[in-house]
Structures are given as C-alpha cells and as structure tokens.
Amino acid sequence: MTTKVQPIDPQSGKPLKTKGARPISTQRTLASMLLAFESFVIFFATLVAFGLKVADPITVWSVGLSLAILMILTPAVLRNKAGYYWGWALQFATLLTGIWVPLMWLVGAIFVCLWIWAMLAGTTIDKARAAYLKLQSDVQDIADQVSGNN
C-alpha cells in the first residue's frame, strides 16, 4: 500500500497544493552542482595541459572538452541509479587526467571525495525529508480523526 505524502503548511495546518510536483532530490542537486563546478575546473586544466604541451593539441582538446561537456550534460541523466554510476565514471576519468597534468591527481582526488560526500549527504537528507513528510502526513491524519474531518 502506497501512501500519498503531501506537505502541510505549518501556519494553517492545511495541505499545500503541489500540482504534480515531484520532490526535489538533494542528492541530485548536490551532484549537479558538483559536476557543473567540476566542468569548469576540467576546462581550465585543459588550458593548462595545452599550454604545457603535454600531448598533441588535438588529443588535449578532445579529451578535455569531451570530459567538460559530459559533466555539463550528466545532471540530465541523474534520474536513476545508472546516472549516478555514470557520475562515478566521470570522477575516475577526472582522476586519470593526472596522467597528463600531475596536479590533477590531487584535484581529481578532491573531486572524488566531494562526490562521495554529495552521495552520502544527499541520500541522508532525502531519507530524513521522506521521514519528516511521512510523520507530517500521519499527524495530519490523526488531527483529522480527532476533529471529525474524516
């Protein structure tokens, strides 16, 4: 049995109108923000790799821009678990750019740590929000039963 959880206005105690709105996932929001920021870092790392002539310019630009563009596009596919697995793959691809620019080992490791934090914190917040909304719905049901608004 699935219960429909609807947010309650704390001032009036009445259910809020949500017209088919989906709950916003904190995990998806954090992951999207991280990927957007990371795409800029990858772009600037591409400029560094190009300036240092670490490889053929076509290789540098194709790898760097592809990775940056994929990071910009990835939030669109973060609706299911496969999108998050893709995000993990991008994190390790970022880490591997340290092959050409050694400082990217450190930068990539920092982004992997931030990705882990985004996944853990986002999941924790989403579960807490779901529990809160469920509790709020249960309290409203009890209040309706007590007041006879069944």
Domain for residue 10, yes or no? no
Place of tokens 């109108």: 17
Instruction: Please report whether residue 70 resides in a domain.
Output: yes
**148 lies in some domain:** no
Does residue 53 form part of some domain? yes
With a threshold of 0.75, does the pTM exceed it?
yes
Interior CA angle at 124 toward 8 and 120, to 5°? 150
Could you tell me if residue 112 is inside a domain? yes
Per-residue pLDDT at 142: 87
Predicted pLDDT at 75: 93
pLDDT of residue 24: 80
Place of tokens 């995990």: 27
Instruction: Give the model's pLDDT for residue 10.
Output: 66
Mean pLDDT, 10 residues at a time, the chain of 150 residues: 56 62 83 96 95 94 96 92 94 94 95 97 93 87 78
**pLDDT for residue 84:** 94
Residue 150 resides in a domain: no
Count of the separate structural domains present in the chain: 1
Does some domain include residue 108?
yes
16: in domain: no
What is the pLDDT, as a whole number, of residue 2?
44
Domain that holds residue 69: 28-143
Residue 1 confidence (pLDDT)? 39
